[in-house]
Structure formats: structure tokens, C-alpha cells
Amino acid sequence: MTDTLTTTTPLADDVRAALQACGVDLSVVGGDAQVASPITGEPLIGARLDTVADIDAAVGRAAEAFPAWRDTPAPLRGQLVKRWGELLTEHKEHLATLVTAEVGKTPSEARGEVQEMIDIADLAVGQSRQLFGKTMPSERPGHRLQEVWHPLGVVGVISAFNFPVAVYAWNTALALVCGDTVVWKPADAARLSAIAVDALLAKAVSEAGAPKGIHQLLLTDADGSRKLVEDPRVALVSATGSVRMGREVAPAVAARFGRTLLELGGNNGAIVAPSADLDLALRGVVFAAAGTAGQRCTTLRRLFVHSSVADQLTKRVVAAYESLAVGDPREDGVLVGPLVNQRSYEAQQAALAAAREQGGTVLAGGDRELADAHPDAYYVRPAVVSMPDQTAIVHEETFAPILYVMTYDDLGEAIALHNAVPQGLSSAIFTTDQGEAERFLSSAGSDCGIANVNIGTSGAEIGGAFGGEKETGGGRESGSDAWKAYMRPSTQTVNYSGQLPLAQGVTFI
């Protein structure tokens, strides 16, 4: 994949240096598909988009490389991922620079995202020696019954802008140790990060002597994504994005009997009980709701506060929001960077207008800032909105920093309100009452894939499986037994008895 510098501003110079440090060749002129920085709105580097023929060829290369990679012993596959992790560590600052430039994360958050890549590589290396099956007792004498896991095939990864590189690594590190090959379609807003990450993986592949075709990068648009989704050679499509996107991907893959791993909408909620440590709750709420300018899938968007502490906590949240430093994420002390583009800003403004119409009161934030200094960038102060109840707009996930605050009197009521939305990714309760905590974590409590006590909704660790229920899609990535999504189980029976007894006592001859 080739690309070219189209502007010589300092930000673009940083991007050029980071790309070159990661081994990307910028000498060949690329195309007109611009990547602009949400920090200033300026174009960074133009990239050549793949054609339909390019996409077909990329999937073909991955499919052709699969048999050789499938037959490579899993611990050797793990050594490739180990080397990739070492290169990611070596180039952590370069990759963080690209993430900040492309999606507007603060350097601290950008480094944290790259660290997630390093962490999942570490986990996957260990997993390469632990692709465990099972041995079950057979009812027939002289028989062995077992379950073995085999590589699945080509894995297509479609990632979103808000975590432009970490989610790819979650999928790819595991898919590679499981013996699969990978085709990646990154977010349009984050093509440069993808190019750098792919270059580092290519270096690891070369050094490890692995088949060259095991990873493929596609720089394409929505039509190109559709080609990847519909290709019968792609055994699994792992897609991160909106519920709308998931509604298109899931039936298209199902129509050809492929598999999907979906990470879709969040609309996450948290409950603050009367026993909560309010200092702890305040920090957890503000970081989860305002961090990354509200553009995480695990961002806190709904807050249910017990009526006995609602006024006190709400006032403290509003004060904290008003003190947040909003601006260029590269500047010291800035905690909230820009929205990714104008559409996100417009979506936020539309949601705030709807909230007002539905009886809500905007207590803080919501206004655009720094427009004179950066007319092509969209900085907003995170908004706190007091809602009389959970109205229609609260049921929708707006991918921008809006925190809806509501009150409750009974924990059962709060859990019911929390679970009433169609999304089911992450959830939290702040309480020092063990009974309340256990009730929230029970099957009668949170209906989300992630449930936390005394921490916010964001900040998942690599060791646990990540994903959610309902309209979130049901997928699981990262730790625990998420690796099984990238493999196929084979139930096997070995008869060493010399006889041919049938199961269930059936007689035939």
C-alpha cells in the first residue's frame, strides 16, 4: 500500500516521521483519499484506495496462505506474534503519535491503546500453547471421545475509528496463533495507523519466515467492506461499529453461512447507590463519561443516582465538567480532545435538542469551543443533562459526550431502568453494600456483557473477554476463551476395541 504527503504542517511532519520509523515507504505517490486530523481539520496524507480487483486478490492471497499457516505448529505461530509484540513495544510512541493525529486521543490514551496491542500479543503467545480441547468418557467400551479445535480459515476484521489499532490486535493476535489468516479493513479516519501497524506485522512475518499472505490490509470504502463481508472465502467477519452497520453485516454473512463476531452499540449505564463512596464515584463517572470525548464504545452515557445523594453528586459532576481542559490533545493538561468530525458534532447537538424537547435540562457543556482557532475541527465541552425519566433519546446511543442523569429510589427500579435499553455492553454500580453489589452482578442484575463494581464502565483489561449482549451483538474478543471464535471444534471418536458397539444401545447387525 502506498501513500503520499500532501501538506507540510508540523502535525503532518510528525505523522511522516512516525510512519517512516515504522518502516512505511512514502516514496511512491498515493491517491486522493485524504486522511484529515480532527485536531486541526488539516489533511495529513493521501492514500490509494483498493479496487474491487485488489480486494479480491487480497482475500485470495490470505486464502492461499491459510493451509501452510494452519499446518504450522501453534507454538511457532505464537513466536510470530511474540515478535510483533516486541516491534509494537519498540514503536509504541510512533504508533501513539499516529493515533493522536488521526482520531484526536490524548497522548496518554493513545499510548494506552497501543499498550493494549502489546498486552494482547503477550496473552496470545501464551494462548498458542493452550488451545485446549477436552476428553469425555464414552459410553462404549474401548472408545475415546474427544473435542479438538482446528483453525477456522480467513478472518475479516472491520475496525472502527475510536480504537483504530487495539481492536485489530485483539482479533489478529488471537487469529494468528489459532492458525487463521487475516484481512483487515480499518476505519476510513484511521488509515495511517493501520498502514504503520501492518508494516510492523510484515516485518515480524519476514523475520519469522511465516507465509507472506497471512495478513492483508485493505484501504477501501463501504462498498469495499461489503465485498469483504460477502466473500465466501472469509470464514469469520469480526466487525466493530454501529448497530446499523451490524444489521447489514450479520444477515449478509449469515446468507452464506459464515460466522460473525460483532461489537456494536453500547449506551452504557451506571448506578450510584446511597452507600457509595462519592469521591470514588465522581472520578469513575467523569473518566468513563468524558474520556476520549465520549467516543468509546464503553463510554458512560446514563447515570442513575439514588435520590438521597443525587443533588450532591450531580453538582460535583457538573463542577468537574466545567473544569475539564478541552483542546488540542497534544497540549499538557488537556483531558478532552476533539470529536472525530462534523457529523459527530451535529449528532450531539441533535441529541441535546431532543433531550430538551423531552423534558431534559442541560446542566453543563454541550457548546462548541475553539471554533475561531480551529474552524475545521470540532471541540465540545462534555454535556451533563438532567432527565426526568428515561425518554426516547436516552434509549439511543449518541457517539458524543453526553451524560444523562436520572434518579431512583429502589435498586430494583434502577436495575430495571438500566436494562431497559436495547444495548448491553458495559455497566457499573458504585456501592459499599455487598448485597447491592452481588444483586447487580447476579443473573437478575445487569444484563450486559461487562458488569463492574466501584469502577466505571470503561477500562476493560485484556485478560477478560470483551463484548456485550442484545444489540451490542453478542461477540467476545480479547481474553478468557474468546480464542474459540477463531477456531472450529471437532468432536472425535476413536474406537480401539476391535468391536463395533453403537451408542444408546442401538443394534444393527
3-state SS assignment for residue 252: helix
Query: Among 22, 178, 297, 448, which one carries the catalytic annotation?
Result: 297
Give the integer Cα–Cα distance in Å for 407 and 416.
13
> Amino acid identity of 209?
G
3-state SS assignment for residue 365: coil
Query: Among 263, 397, 436, 477, which one carries the catalytic annotation?
Result: 263
Of the candidates 224, 279, 259, 277, which has an alpha carbon nearest to the alpha carbon of residue 476? 259
Residues contacting 40, CB < 8 A, separation 6+: 9, 11, 328, 374, 376, 377
The H or E element that residue 390 is part of is none
| Residue in the structure block whose three cell numbers are 485488489 | 54
Give the integer Cα–Cα distance in Å for 13 and 235.
40
3-state SS assignment for residue 397: coil
Is 297 designated active site?
A: yes
Q: What DSSP assignment string belongs to 451-466? A: EEESS-S----TTSEE
Q: Are strands 368-369 and 465-466 parallel, antiparallel or unpaired?
A: unpaired
Give the integer Cα–Cα distance in Å for 412 and 435.
12
| Residue in the structure block whose three cell numbers are 471437532 | 490
Cell of 73: 505448529
Give the integer Cα–Cα distance in Å for 325 and 315.
18
Is the Cβ–Cβ distance between 391 and 361 less than 8 Å?
no
Give the integer Cα–Cα distance in Å for 277 and 433.
11
Is 42 designated active site?
A: no
Cell of 243: 448497530
Q: Are strands 234-240 and 259-263 parallel, antiparallel or unpaired?
A: parallel
Is the Cβ–Cβ distance between 470 and 264 less than 8 Å?
no
CA 208, 213, 219, 223 torsion-angle sign:
negative
Give the integer Cα–Cα distance in Å for 317 and 116.
29
Active site residues: 263, 297
